[in-house]
Structure 1
Amino acid sequence: MDNTIGNISLTQLPNGAHFNYMQATIERVETDNVAKAKVPGELAALKSAFAVEDECLNISRKNPLSDPIAEADARRDGYYTGYKNAVRGFLQLPEGDLLTAAKALWQHIADYKIDTKAQLDKETGMLTNFIDDLQGKYAAQVTQLGLKPFVDNLKTANDQTHELLMRRDTDNAAKTVSATKSARRDVDTAYRKLIAKINAYATLDEAGELAPFVDAMNAQILRYKRNVLNQPASSPTEPVQPTPPEEGGGDSESPDEI
């Protein structure tokens, strides 16, 4: 049986998954003395290219707008919590129109189930719709309970968070997308050369010294195909060919994710 390392569509991996895959590959080569001895030059080239990819991803996370975003997010969370607590307080009334208004607003809160610890864009979208309701169909209840200052300030903070997130995405796109794609292409080229050389040795490896490394790499490839690329659960049997990488650098990602 041909015991070689199978192929994987590297360009389809999102940035975070691509980074993790290459990091795991480098660590796997470095801890396997047999494989490491076969590809010293290829390993050095892969590590060098990977360092550039690492720097590109780090730059995307060092945007100066991150702190203002966190501050705006904290403000809106505070206004939302204050609004929620105020409505809860009115629920303690024994009866009357104020209690009726509070019940309507509390049900509205319960319907949305907003989590202030949710991913930033998700919370922003939920709060946008939530605030629209408070300024529209629930405006009378908000005014009746004197909660308009909470709602107005919540809207201001949420709008500011949205604007800052958009600006950060624009900045990151302008600064890092092209650089990341270029870095990924270089990493993919170095990876293919390393794997191709390992496979060349593996086809002549009658003693099976490379088998543990090959099996471990194939298990890694299979896991990424299943869990990241959502491909059918089958063993990777097609060997890597020393061909240039495909055009493109995979999906771009928000720094809040992966």
Structure 2
Amino acid sequence: MPRNKGITDEMIIEMYKSGMSYKEMMPIVGLSSRGIYNVLSKHNVPIRKQFSGQPRKHKVNEDFFKVWSHEMAWVLGLFVTDGTVNGHTHSITFSQNDERILKLIAKYMEADYVLMSTGKTRTVPTLVINSREIKKDLAAMGITHNKSLTLPFPKVPEKYLSSFIRGVIDGDGWVQDRGYVMNVTTASIDFAKGIISVFISWNLRTEMSYELTKTGREIYRVWVKGKESISMLSTIIYSNCDDNYNYKKRERLSKWIK
């Protein structure tokens, strides 16, 4: 039977590693159980025994995004910038070059540490979280598949804004090595407006720029400039954290703190 259009080997491997059974995968990918097995074998994916009934699921706290905490806010900030909602399965993924951060995410979410296989098109470590409930909770915040253009700024309680913004900066922020400038890049104008609104409320020197990519895509950058504002930003976002931050970015953001 022919494979459904747009289904790649990597997508099949991701579905399988998220805990789906052959029976669940067959109508999505358009292959027989033998065809799915052949794809997995080709990529040397360890094959688990197939049982009838409910497929094996990876452990995770499915209520994680229901209760606000500084850890949850930080993980949410990372997800809206570096995470992906799978359009074919009930799974989400986090991609980070720093595996220490992925392990912290798994720890906070009480999740099994399951990484997607790397290859020619995927070189960055990617953590897989499989949960219909978590996907539903994220959707309730407006965070859905292909979120980059439509991402809203979540309704984060003021108490946890510092941790959320730290996650956003850890996920998609750029910090100048000299520590004078920081920016966050997004394709969503609503998300950009939300970030700049927070920075204004913190009395930071901030501005937003706009540009078109070579493909005609709109990109927004929210800036914080000047060592006083950068130092103030650093003081705010690192006030409620343990070890959950990007080491290099904190070093640069804190360069001018006396």
Q: TM-score range by the shorter chain?
A: under 0.3
TM-score, scaled relative to structure 2: 0.20
Larger Rg: 1
